[in-house]
A and B are shown apart, each in its own frame.
Chain A
Amino acid sequence: MLSLWRKIRAVGRVAEPEPPRPADPTTDGLPAAARELRGSVQIRHVDAGSCNGCEVEIGSAFGPVYDAERYGARLVASPRHADALLVTGVVTLNMAEPLRRTYQAVPDPKLVVAVGDCACNCGVFGNAYGVAGAVHDVVPVDLKIAGCPPRPEAIVDAVRRLTGR
């Protein structure tokens, strides 16, 4: 316990300084839903068929260094608690229906964020076998984050556009 305390003292703060605020969320085409949340967004992450590259980046975006939680976002365990879905990966045939049901389980107002090239436009998987399409073919998408995988900064930037902080 003492060694842990020494470690806490020695490491100190690891969170990077807060980058400048992204564009005003009210003017850049986000639906009215984002404005109603005002500084608090609970996020449910849905893996619709990802290679887990995006998951690693989401993990580090919510880790101590980028600390997306400081902007009022939080990952939650249930779509009923969520305001936004963070969908990664190309939507596979087996995950199309679960994704639709998850979307239905989220109470209004709700937002969907497609994370990574696969979620935005199927990426390298194109019209491969077993692929139902990109996320916007299954549920309406409000915000897209490009990249394969997107950098944590890009994910944090998108999260800040949702929370407006």
Chain B
Amino acid sequence: MNAPSLFGTVGVILQLLIVVALSPVLTGLMRQIRALLEGRAGSGIAQPWRDLRKLMRKQRTSPRGTTEVFRVAPLLLVATCLVVTAVAPFVTTASALDPVADLFAVVALLTLGTVALALAGLDTGTAFGGMGASRETTIIALVEPTMLVAIFALSVPVGSTNLAAIVTSGLDDPAQVFSPVSLLAAVALIVVIIAETGRLPVDNPSTHLELTMVHEAMVLEYSGPDLAMVELASSMRLTVFLGLLANLFVPWGIATSASPLLIAVGVLAFVVKVAFLGGCLAVGEVFLAKLRLFRVPELLAGSFVLGLLAVAASFFLA
């Protein structure tokens, strides 16, 4: 696209502010929906922010025997999320950092965060940390190719792996969004997002049982501000993935030019789309039990096949 403009810079700042401020609220909203369906009263959608505020004030502990890997991981996790938030087309397609918003770069950045956390889990030397890391690596090894292939299927008709270009072409030509390619890729991507963000039926985010944990098992040793960063990053990842899903398959509403009204509509559309997807995810989780760990690769392999079919279809139907 064009050289970095004022519009692009405003878009980047807006995206960062919205995702950082509202991603804990999204987590709170999903917990609240779940609580209401379980007949509970629920702790309110602002509870994750209260938790983060308290964690920031707590003492930072560093378990004996841990190295820099353990200390750097939360920073790296948050940093990769922030970079992806800044470059991805959420509110506007004309981000000032547009060249970075490449499909491969974004997926690699998100993987970098996961790998950093898996290494930190190993670094603690505890049984559960290593177990969580090995499970996460099993999942990530199947998730990453699926995610690449699914988004790649969308990029074939566009002829570019730039995310903003994919979204813009979806806006220009709605026939691309309502195609079998798009449907196959959407299903593959939804399964992958559920696995990657540690939701049911792959991982239970509210479990207290160490033996069933995946994501939680890796962060058992974090405390205080480090834990706050890990929690913030995990809600930001959920927002980022849902935002990508929303804008790749339902691109309408995103701001394409520099009018304040269009930007306001872009912000509103992004918030509504992500909140709707999060709500659907929360409602769906009430009806699901956790899958046995050995069945998870079958689920993910199925979604990889769908992604592969999407790529094949995008070549043959083009």
Contact = CB atoms under 8 A, between A and B. Distances in A.
Nearest to A105: B61
A83 B61 contact: no
A78 B59 CA distance: 15
B58 A83 contact: yes
B216 interface: yes
B72 interface: no
B41 interface: yes
A107 B39 contact: no
A81 B223 contact: yes
A77 B39 contact: no
A37 B207 contact: no
A6 B210 CA distance: 33
A107 B58 contact: yes
Contacts of A75: 208
Contact of A71 (B36, B43, B209, B224): B43
B41 A18 contact: yes
A146 B249 CA distance: 57
A15 B41 CA distance: 6
B61 A40 contact: no
A40 B55 CA distance: 9
Contacts of A42: 51
A142 interface: no
Interface residues of B, number: 35
Interface in B182-236: 207-210, 213, 216, 220-224, 227
A78 B220 contact: yes
Q: SS class of chain A's interface: helix, strand, loop or mixed?
A: loop
A95 B279 CA distance: 43
Interface in A19-59: 36-40, 42
B208 A80 contact: no
A77 B61 contact: no
Interface in B40-83: 40-44, 47, 50-51, 53-54, 57-61, 63
Contacts of A18: 41
Interface in A64-95: 64, 67, 69-72, 74-78, 80-81, 83
B39 A14 contact: yes
B30 to A, nearest CB: 14
B277 interface: no
B281 interface: no
A4 interface: yes
B54 A80 contact: no
B217 to A, nearest CB: 9
A12 B221 CA distance: 38
A12 B210 CA distance: 31
A81 B42 CA distance: 21
A42 B53 CA distance: 13
B42 A70 contact: yes
Interface in B124-167: none
Contacts of B37: 8
A109 B210 CA distance: 25
Given A76-B208, A80-B223, A107 B47 contact: no
Given A76-B208, A107-B60, A69 B220 contact: no
Given A72-B47, A80-B61, A40 B213 contact: no
B223 A64 contact: no
B47 A13 contact: no
Contacts of A81: 220, 222-223, 227
B40 A67 contact: yes
Contact of A69 (B43, B210, B227): B43
B42 to A, nearest CB: 6
Contacts of B44: 70
A80 B222 contact: yes
A66 to B, nearest CB: 10
Interface in B224-255: 224, 227
A18 B60 CA distance: 35
A97 interface: no
Contacts of B216: 77
Given A75-B208, A107-B223, A69 B40 contact: yes
7 contacts: A15-B39, A18-B41, A74-B51, A76-B208, A80-B223, A81-B223, A108-B59
Lowest 5 A-B CB distances belong to which pairs?
Answer: A14-B39, A107-B59, A80-B223, A40-B50, A70-B41
